[in-house]
Structure 1
Amino acid sequence: MNPARPRLTVALTGLNAVDSPGPGVAVARALRESPAYDVRLIGLSYEALEPGIYLPDLFARSYQLPYPSAGTAALRTRLLEIHEREQLDVIIPNFDAELYNFGRLAPELAAHGIHTFLPTAAQLEMRDKLNLAAFGAEHGLQVPADMRLFGVADIPKAAAQLGWPLVLKGRYYDATVCHTPAQAEQAFWQLQARWGAPVLAQQFVAGQEINVAGLADGRGGLLSAVPMRKLFITDKGKAWAGITIADDALPALARRFAAATRWRGGFELELMRTAAGELFIMEINPRFPAWIYLAVGAGHNQPAALLQLARGEAVSDFNEYAVGKMFVRYAWDLVVDNADFQQMASVGEL
C-alpha cells in the first residue's frame, strides 16, 4: 500500500479475457495505475472459467455473481454479501446486459457506502441498438438504416429495404454480415437463441473501422476521447491490434454524443468511415471497451478518472492524447490448480 494515496476497494465485472474479451482486465490494469488512489481490486464473475479470476497479481479475491437474468433482488443479495466481507468503495460494471440491474440498485448501494457512476436507464435506452437509428435522426448523426426482425419471415422485407449484404446483430452482442437469405436465416436463429428477439437487421456500410473510447461527466461535458483505428480484426469483429489516430472529427463526434445524452461514465463509439469520408455510428457501447488500456498508454486513464467521478470529486478535462500508440492483444496460458477452479465453481469465490 502506498501511504501517499488513500486506499479504495473496487469491484469490477467483465473478466472474460477470451477471443471476444470483456473490458474488466484492461480496466483493472488501468485502475492499478490510478494517480489518486491505491486500489485493491475485487473480481466479479459470472462463469468459473473467466480468466481474470486467476490473475492474483490483479485481483485480491474474486466472487461469482448471479446472471443478470436472475434479476435485481438476487444481485442485491450477493453484492451485499460481498460488501460485508470486503467493504467495497466502488463498483464498475463492464457488461451491457448487467447495467440495468446495477443502475436500479445504485441508490441502495450508495446508502451502504458503495459508489457507482452509471448511465441512467433512459440513457441506456436511447443508444440501444434497437433505438440507434431514431437517436441518430433526432440529433443529426449518421446511423445506418435498420429493421427489427421477429422471425425469419421478416428477412426478405429487410433485404428489400436495406439491400445485400445484410448485417444481423444480437440484442446485446454479436454481428454477422450475411450475403444470402440462407446465411441470414442461419444467423437469425443463432442470434435469437443467444440474445433473444428481436434480432436487428442493419444496412451494410463499407469503410474503415474506427472506435472512440470516451468518458463523460453526466452534465453534458466530455472529459476524454481517444480514437483508435483497427489494425487487425478477428472473425468476431473484435480489434486485436489498433493505433491511436489524430482526427478532430472524432472527438467532436464524441462531444456531440455526450452533450446530446448528458452521458454518465465511460462509452465507446463504433464508427465506420466511408471512402467518401462520411462517419457512420454503427454502435454505441455504454461502457469502456476491451481496448481501454490503450487510452491509458496514450495518456488518458479514463477508468481512474471514473473512480473520482463515482466519489463525487471534480475531474478536469484531459489534455492531448499521444498519437501513434499501438496495442497488440495476445493470448497467455494461465496454469492454475484444479482446486482453485473447483473452489470457484462450487463455492463461488476464490
Structure 2
Amino acid sequence: MPNKYSNLCIAVTGLNANDNPGPGMAVIRSLREAFGAGLRVIGLSYESLEPGIYLREHVNKTYQIPYPTEGTGALLERLGYIRQQENLDVIIPNFDSELFNFIKVAPQLKQMGIATLLPSQQQLALRDKVNLKDFGTKNGFYVPADHKIYHADDMKKAADEFNFPIVIKGKFYDAYVVYTMDQALKAFHQLNAAWGVPVIAQQYITGTEINIAALGDGDGNNTSIVAMRKLYITDKGKAWAGVTIKEDKLIELANNFAKTTNWKGGYEMEIMSNAEGHLYILEINPRFPAWIYLTAAAGQNQPEALVKMALGDDVLPYTDYQAGKLFVRYSWDHIADISDFQHISVFGEL
C-alpha cells in the first residue's frame, strides 16, 4: 500500500567511483534498499566521466551542476532549473568542498520544497582540518598536533617538531605519509596545486585505524552510530575492506562529539586507537563516508534515516547493529555508449 515514502525523488552528489570513491553510489544503494522501486534518483555531477552517470539501474537521470568555485548564485540557478524538471523532495550532498554552498542555499531550497539535513556553517568550520586541533584541545578530545603550511619553508618547522614520518593533508581531500623532507615538499606542492593553502602537516600516530559513521539530529544526539575497523587500506589511505566492530568507548566518543557540537546530518570520524588505548581523532568528515552502505548491511541504514529526518519525521535512535559485517570494495568495467558521454558533456544532463 502506498505511503509518503513510496514515490520519493532524491538528488545525490558524489557519483565518482575511482580509487578514491565518493559516497554517492553507496548512498543511492542504501536508499534503493530502503525505499524500493518507486524511488527516483537524480544524480548531480561535476564531471562527465563520473561512473554514476552511466549506471542507469541506479541513477534515473543526471544533471551537471556548477563547480563550488562558481558560487551560490550559479548553484541555486541550476537547482531551480532541475526543480522545474524533477519533483525533488530531498538533496543529499556528499562532497566536503560543496557543503559551504549547499548550506548557504538550504533556506531557498526549503522554499522550493526541497529538504536537506545539513550542519550549520559554524559546525562545518569547527571540525575543519585547519581548526581540528584547537577544537580538540578546547573540548577534551585527543587530536594529533599539526602545523598549517602556507609556504614550503614552513615545512622545516613541522619536521623539526614532529620528526618523520609526518602526515601531509590537503585542505579538503588527500593525505600522504612522508618519510623525508623531499617527500614532504613534493606532497605540499601537489596538495597546494589541488586544493590551495593551508596544507596541513599532522603528527603521525601509530595504532589501529577505525572509522565511525554517525548521524546527528542537531540537538546534541546521534540517531545512528556504526564503527568499522579498516582491514585493507589503499595508498591514498582509503578503506578498501573493513569490518563492523562494537566498542563502548567508540560510541561514547561519537556521542560526546554530537553533544559538544549539536551536529546535524551525517558525519564520519577517522580515528587512530594507539597502544595506550587513546582514541585520536585524525579527521571529522562532514558527510557520509564512501563505505556508508555497510551501515545498512549492519542494521542501521543511515541514508534512509537522514531522508526521513530531513522530511521532518521523528526517527527513533538505533540501539544496536551487527558486528562482524565485512565489506570488500571492488572495481569493474561498466560499458556505455560514447553518445551518452557526448550528451552529458554538451547538454549537461542525461
Letter of the 2:2 partner, please give it. P
Q: Matched residue pairs, number? A: 349
Cα deviation code 1:321-341 (max 9, x no counterpart): 000000000101100011001
Q: Report the counterpart of residue 167 of structure 1 in structure 2.
A: 167
How far apart are 1:179 and its partner, in Å? 1.0
Q: Report the counterpart of residue 290 of structure 1 in structure 2.
A: 290
Q: Report the counterpart of residue 44 of structure 1 in structure 2.
A: 44
Q: Report the counterpart of residue 86 of structure 1 in structure 2.
A: 86
Letter of the 1:33 partner, please give it. E
Q: CA separation of 1:283/1:88 partners in 2, compared to 1, >3 Å: closer, same or farther?
A: same
- Is 1:8–1:37's contact at 8 Å kept on the other side of the alignment? no
Q: Whole-Å Cα distance in 2 between the matches of residues 288 and 161 of structure 1?
A: 33
SS of 2:296's partner is: helix
How far apart are 1:159 and its partner, in Å? 1.1
Q: Whole-Å Cα distance in 2 between the matches of residues 37 and 133 of structure 1?
A: 45
Letter of the 1:81 partner, please give it. Y
How far apart are 1:37 and its partner, in Å? 9.7
Q: Report the counterpart of residue 323 of structure 1 in structure 2.
A: 323
SS of 2:116's partner is: coil
1:54 and 2:54 are equivalent in the alignment: yes
Letter of the 2:222 partner, please give it. L
1:248 and 2:233 are equivalent in the alignment: no
1:10 and 2:4 are equivalent in the alignment: no
SS of 1:242's partner is: strand
SS of 2:349's partner is: coil
Cα deviation code 1:252-294 (max 9, x no counterpart): 1000001100000100000001122111000000000000000
Q: Whole-Å Cα distance in 1 between the matches of residues 330 and 228 of structure 2?
A: 18
Q: Report the counterpart of residue 24 of structure 1 in structure 2.
A: 24
Letter of the 2:259 partner, please give it. A
Letter of the 2:73 partner, please give it. A
1:344 and 2:347 are equivalent in the alignment: no
How far apart are 1:167 and its partner, in Å? 1.0
Q: Report the counterpart of residue 306 of structure 1 in structure 2.
A: 306
Judge which range, 289-298 or 152-161, deviates more.
152-161
Judge which range, 3-12 or 112-121, deviates more.
3-12
How far apart are 1:45 and its partner, in Å? 0.4
Q: Report the counterpart of residue 76 of structure 2 in structure 1.
A: 76
Cα deviation code 1:162-183 (max 9, x no counterpart): 2221111000001111111111
- Is 2:10–2:41's contact at 8 Å kept on the other side of the alignment? yes
Q: Whole-Å Cα distance in 1 between the matches of residues 137 and 51 of structure 2?
A: 40
How far apart are 1:319 and its partner, in Å? 2.4
Q: Report the counterpart of residue 279 of structure 1 in structure 2.
A: 279
Q: Whole-Å Cα distance in 2 between the matches of residues 297 and 319 of structure 1?
A: 15
Letter of the 1:3 partner, please give it. P
Equivalent residues in 2 for 1:254-273, closer than 5 Å: 254-273=254-273
Q: Report the counterpart of residue 144 of structure 2 in structure 1.
A: 144
Letter of the 1:177 partner, please give it. V
How far apart are 1:87 and its partner, in Å? 1.6
Q: Give TM-score scaled by structure 1 length.
A: 0.98
How far apart are 1:6 and its partner, in Å? 3.1
Q: Whole-Å Cα distance in 2 between the matches of residues 125 and 37 of structure 1?
A: 38
Q: Whole-Å Cα distance in 2 between the matches of residues 263 and 79 of structure 1?
A: 25
Q: CA separation of 1:37/1:144 partners in 2, compared to 1, >3 Å: closer, same or farther?
A: farther
Q: Report the counterpart of residue 204 of structure 1 in structure 2.
A: 204
SS of 1:71's partner is: helix
Percent identity of paired positions between Structure 1 and Structure 2: 54
Q: Whole-Å Cα distance in 2 between the matches of residues 240 and 202 of structure 1?
A: 23
Q: Whole-Å Cα distance in 2 between the matches of residues 13 and 246 of structure 1?
A: 30
Q: CA separation of 1:211/1:334 partners in 2, compared to 1, >3 Å: closer, same or farther?
A: same
Letter of the 1:223 partner, please give it. T
Q: Whole-Å Cα distance in 1 between the matches of residues 337 and 331 of structure 2?
A: 19
SS of 2:131's partner is: helix
Q: Report the counterpart of residue 67 of structure 1 in structure 2.
A: 67
Q: Whole-Å Cα distance in 2 between the matches of residues 185 and 49 of structure 1?
A: 31
Q: Report the counterpart of residue 227 of structure 1 in structure 2.
A: 227
Q: CA separation of 1:37/1:134 partners in 2, compared to 1, >3 Å: closer, same or farther?
A: farther
How far apart are 1:38 and its partner, in Å? 4.2
Q: Give TM-score scaled by structure 2 length.
A: 0.98
- Is 2:6–2:35's contact at 8 Å kept on the other side of the alignment? no
- Is 2:270–2:282's contact at 8 Å kept on the other side of the alignment? yes
Cα RMSD over matched residues?
1.2
Q: Whole-Å Cα distance in 2 between the matches of residues 340 and 36 of structure 1?
A: 26
Letter of the 1:310 partner, please give it. A
Q: CA separation of 1:36/1:305 partners in 2, compared to 1, >3 Å: closer, same or farther?
A: farther
Q: Report the counterpart of residue 192 of structure 1 in structure 2.
A: 192
How far apart are 1:39 and its partner, in Å? 2.2
SS of 1:48's partner is: coil
